[in-house]
Amino acid sequence: GQQLNQSPQSMFIQEGEDVSMNCTSSSIFNTWLWYKQDPGEGPVLLIALYKAGELTSNGRLTAQFGITRKDSFLNISASIPSDVGIYFCAPQVQGAQKLVFGQGTRLTINP
């Protein structure tokens, strides 16, 4: 089966710092999704990437779909306290209904 590696598993940063996390896979995907989960809540979609090489921004968040279609990264600039949570990558094969999740990156911010 496919292997999906999300790193780092956890990050402890100061407010205002930039954050970078990534996912790599042994398989090729057509879509990369990034989700954020706040404590006690379900994951919420942040960014969706549909084309290899695509770079998409959503406010302070930027995500890119790797050229090989086996990886993606998510950057957060100038972190703020509400960025705390767990971030998941979730790649998908086109036409497949299953969404596979990475193990998550837990972000903690020190004020």
Binding site for another protein (CB under 8 A): 6, 31, 33, 35, 40-45, 48, 50, 88, 90, 94, 97-104
Both tokens of 32, joined, read 């990369």
For residue 109, the one-letter residue type is I
Beta bridge partners of 87: 36, 105
Q: How far is the CB of 108 from another protein (least distance, A)?
A: 16
Q: How far is the CB of 21 from another protein (least distance, A)?
A: 13
Nearer to another protein, 50 or 53 (CB): 50
CA distances, 20 to each of 4, 6, 23 (Å): 17, 11, 11
The answer to whether 36 and 49 have CB atoms below 8 angstroms apart is: no
Nearer to another protein, 1 or 81 (CB): 1
DSSP 8-state code for residue 84? -
Nearer to another protein, 66 or 102 (CB): 102
Task: Tell me which residue has tokens 């306290």.
Answer: 81
Nearer to another protein, 1 or 111 (CB): 1
Q: How far is the CB of 83 from another protein (least distance, A)?
A: 19
